[in-house]
Structure 1
Amino acid sequence: MDDRQGGAALAGAFHADVVRPLLARAMPRLRYAAARLGSGSDVLGLDDAVSRDHDWGCRLTLLVDDADAVPGIDRLLERGLPARYGGHPVRFPVTWDAADTHNVEVATVADFCRSRLGVDPTRPLGAVDWLCLTGQAVLEVTAGPVFADATATLAPARATLRRYPPDVERYVLAAWWRRASQWMPIIGRTARRGDETGSRMLSARVAEDLCRLAFALSRQWAPYAKWRGTAFRRLDVAPSLDGPLTAAVSAPRWEDREAALAEVAEVLGALQRERGLPAPDAVVTAFWNRPFRTVDEAVWTALLAEIHDPEVAALPPGVGSVEQWADSVDVLTSSDRRAALRAAYRAWISPGAAPGRSRPGPQGATGHAR
């Protein structure tokens, strides 16, 4: 094992040299999947020397379809794994378990997915289930390498999670556009009132939302903030957006920051049309009679108009997925807490209400920009 290689390569070699022979001798008929899934930068292929100070090493995920097999595999591994492999300890503490034990996670496919997602993708998912997912949680199931798979459920589960269903996708896209429309016109308003710091913070906020919209339009899940910019550079649309996004967060004049955001929005509007989704020829428009610009509400209302799923159609138009309205790390990184938020979506769903067609309250879509 080359010590310069990443954690995923270490996991693959650990399986091939140690775990697979052990299972083949003791449980030759076992049908299992071996992979490097779950938490850790190495699951995304982004670990480096700094990553090795915690939760890094001989980690592996072993998944089966039959829950009855799990205890026996655990006992075999505890008894049969060596103390070290490739110069690395096999038993070591991690941030969620201080015990000196091996870190081969053994579970059923369904239980492992529930632990990361809060839902079981081996069964049909409803719209609310999809909206309680985060990109990072999905990547913890889908991004890591699979070294062997004889299960009936892992590959279909990963395939299911590849992208949102069409109506949920439209709803999430509409929410990103609506968020941008709410904050973009305040960039100039704050700067012209002498609040340059506030204007810069708003520019960065809209830039981040448009960056995350780029992931959604590219039908790619976005990782959490540490790796979002790195993963963004891998998107096909990134070369067209990198320059204006940089200007949006760094240009000294608010007019230049707004112009950069408008350029990003137009590139994303063109991408939306390329995807066969509705969008006007120009997605940026004037904000009332003021010298500011915003996203035309036609961009997100056209998406909502194409939603046919009654549950999705009944949801408030600007809410979107859980990571569009919640930013607490302690909520977004907990599958149980995210799953509990399904109750909020259920409370918002009311039969017969179509998003975008009811009259807005006093704030409206951009009323807070007054």
Structure 2
Amino acid sequence: MSGALPAGIPLSRDYYESVVAPLLARHAPGLEHAAARLGSGSDVLGYDDAQSRDHDWGLRLTLLVEEGHAQEIDTLLAQELPPRFRGLPTRFATTWDPVVRQRVEVCSAAEFATSRLGLDPGSGLTLVDWLSLTGQAVLEVTAGEVFHDRPQALTALRERLEWYPHDVWLYAIAADWHRLGQELPDVGRAGLRGDEDGSAVIAARHVRTLLHLAHLLHRRWPPYGKWLARSAAALPGGDVVRLAVHEVLRARDWRSREAALADAIELLAAMQGAYGLPTLEPATEAFFDRPHVGLRGMPDLLAEQITDPAVRELPAGKGTAEQISDNVTVLVDAAARRRLVEH
């Protein structure tokens, strides 16, 4: 049976159109609502496969209704949903909730946004709000397919989260370049000292930063680590970026690793220029008189373009919450993310 099942998004659409929507039409006619597959799960990004079905996968749906109607609709679905659909149970436990119950998440648009982002963007976002967001949190609101949105509440929410304000975008890009520049020469320094393992570890850190930077340059929210490389490969020009970072990861010695890393940096620097942002050509240079590669003044070049006084006052190179920390426990905690960027 499992082999015949569609991916999660088509399954959720079928569930809504065949089961949930008819129930609403019969018991709550005229109810304004949005229906979509949002929130957690690889299927929201379209990355689910057969293995995804071993937990938290199945007949899941997000139903956004007006304030005050959520409990009523949740109770209705709990009572009226059939036991199974397409051979799958409509009621099941999850890793975050051991109770066997129906998994149509019913809430208002503001409640849903707050549950994922740690804030409600309905009244606008402050600078701290923008800095506290992670790409994954935003994708849990904006990436999944929308099946119905009669009041356009979900559409409006997604429009507010489309991308960073321009100066915050510049600041975030500069922060990734700053991080690259800080440890770029260390790839060669560790290797020259005979520490090929250390050189490879530092280079791998740079690859992750480059993949994050590629998303920023393309104005695409980056997902969390499991899907970062796959998502980057799907960006415009992503195949070239993918090949460039593979050369870094496959390098067997520090000299070839350093050269491949420099090539990847030049590629992204050229991409930055293609998007109309200031860049340097070349972006790399000799690190003083040592036989290592350093980064030219890319962070300062971008910082000079920032005009918003509040953004200009931010600490150079600190960046957004997900640039400051890659600790999952911190990044899934909205309050912890805010603490990172407030101080």
- The normalised TM-score by structure 1 is 0.90
Contact 1:172–1:320 (Cα < 8 Å) also in 2: yes
Cα distance in 2 for residues equivalent to 1:227 and 1:346: 28
Q: Which residue of 2 aligns with 1:93?
A: 93
Whether 1:13 and 2:9 are equivalent positions in the alignment is no
Q: Which residue of 2 aligns with 1:33?
A: 34
Q: Which residue of 2 aligns with 1:254?
A: 254
SS of alignment partner, residue 147 of structure 1 = strand
SS of alignment partner, residue 93 of structure 1 = strand
Cα distance in 1 for residues equivalent to 2:16 and 2:335: 30
Whether 1:325 and 2:321 are equivalent positions in the alignment is no
Contact 1:315–1:345 (Cα < 8 Å) also in 2: no
Q: Which residue of 2 aligns with 1:244?
A: 244
Superposed CA deviations along residues 312-370 of structure 1, whole A, max 9, x for unmatched, are: 1111111101011111111112234324x2xx4333xxxxxxxxxxxxxxxxxxxxxxx
Amino acid across the alignment from 1:329: V
Cα distance in 2 for residues equivalent to 1:240 and 1:43: 26
- Note the C-alpha offset of 1:274: 1.4
Q: Which residue of 2 aligns with 1:43?
A: 44
Cα distance in 2 for residues equivalent to 1:17 and 1:259: 56
Contact 2:132–2:341 (Cα < 8 Å) also in 1: no
- Note the C-alpha offset of 1:205: 0.9
Q: Which residue of 1 aligns with 2:127?
A: 127
Tell me the C-alpha RMSD between the 2 structures. Answer: 1.4
Question: Equivalences for 1:102-181 in 2 at 5 Å?
Answer: 102-181=102-181
Amino acid across the alignment from 1:313: R
Q: Which residue of 2 aligns with 1:345?
A: 341
Q: Which residue of 1 aligns with 2:83?
A: 83
Contact 2:36–2:63 (Cα < 8 Å) also in 1: yes
Cα distance in 1 for residues equivalent to 2:337 and 2:114: 11
- Note the C-alpha offset of 1:152: 3.7
Cα distance in 2 for residues equivalent to 1:151 and 1:136: 25
Q: Which residue of 2 aligns with 1:296?
A: 296
Cα distance in 1 for residues equivalent to 2:122 and 2:152: 10
- Note the C-alpha offset of 1:93: 0.1
Cα distance in 2 for residues equivalent to 1:230 and 1:173: 20
Cα distance in 2 for residues equivalent to 1:20 and 1:178: 50
Cα distance in 1 for residues equivalent to 2:142 and 2:97: 24
Contact 1:117–1:133 (Cα < 8 Å) also in 2: yes
Contact 1:214–1:237 (Cα < 8 Å) also in 2: no
Cα distance in 2 for residues equivalent to 1:167 and 1:319: 15
SS of alignment partner, residue 245 of structure 2 = helix
Cα distance in 2 for residues equivalent to 1:243 and 1:23: 49
Cα distance in 2 for residues equivalent to 1:80 and 1:35: 20
Q: Which residue of 2 aligns with 1:316?
A: 315
Amino acid across the alignment from 1:122: G
- Note the C-alpha offset of 1:282: 1.4
SS of alignment partner, residue 171 of structure 2 = helix
Q: Which sections of structure 2, spanning at least 5 residues, go unmatched?
A: none
- Note the C-alpha offset of 1:267: 1.1
Cα distance in 2 for residues equivalent to 1:338 and 1:180: 22
- Note the C-alpha offset of 1:3: 3.3
Q: Which residue of 2 aligns with 1:355?
A: none
Between stretches 10-19 and 232-241, larger displacement belongs to: 232-241
Cα distance in 2 for residues equivalent to 1:251 and 1:346: 39
- Note the C-alpha offset of 1:161: 1.4
Cα distance in 2 for residues equivalent to 1:58 and 1:126: 36
- Note the C-alpha offset of 1:309: 1.7
Contact 2:233–2:241 (Cα < 8 Å) also in 1: no
Cα distance in 1 for residues equivalent to 2:328 and 2:73: 33
Superposed CA deviations along residues 175-214 of structure 1, whole A, max 9, x for unmatched, are: 0001000111011111111111111101111111111111
Cα distance in 1 for residues equivalent to 2:57 and 2:341: 37
Superposed CA deviations along residues 106-125 of structure 1, whole A, max 9, x for unmatched, are: 11111101111112122211
Between stretches 30-39 and 229-238, larger displacement belongs to: 229-238
Cα distance in 1 for residues equivalent to 2:180 and 2:49: 34
- Note the C-alpha offset of 1:4: 2.9
Cα distance in 2 for residues equivalent to 1:19 and 1:346: 42
The share of aligned pairs that are identical, in percent, is 46
- Note the C-alpha offset of 1:52: 0.4
Contact 1:180–1:294 (Cα < 8 Å) also in 2: no
Q: Which residue of 1 aligns with 2:333?
A: 334
Q: Which residue of 1 aligns with 2:61?
A: 60
- Note the C-alpha offset of 1:18: 0.7
Cα distance in 2 for residues equivalent to 1:153 and 1:337: 28
- Note the C-alpha offset of 1:224: 1.0
- Note the C-alpha offset of 1:144: 0.3
Whether 1:222 and 2:218 are equivalent positions in the alignment is no
- Note the C-alpha offset of 1:272: 0.9
The 3 A distance-change label for structure 1 pair 122 and 153 is farther
Amino acid across the alignment from 1:312: V
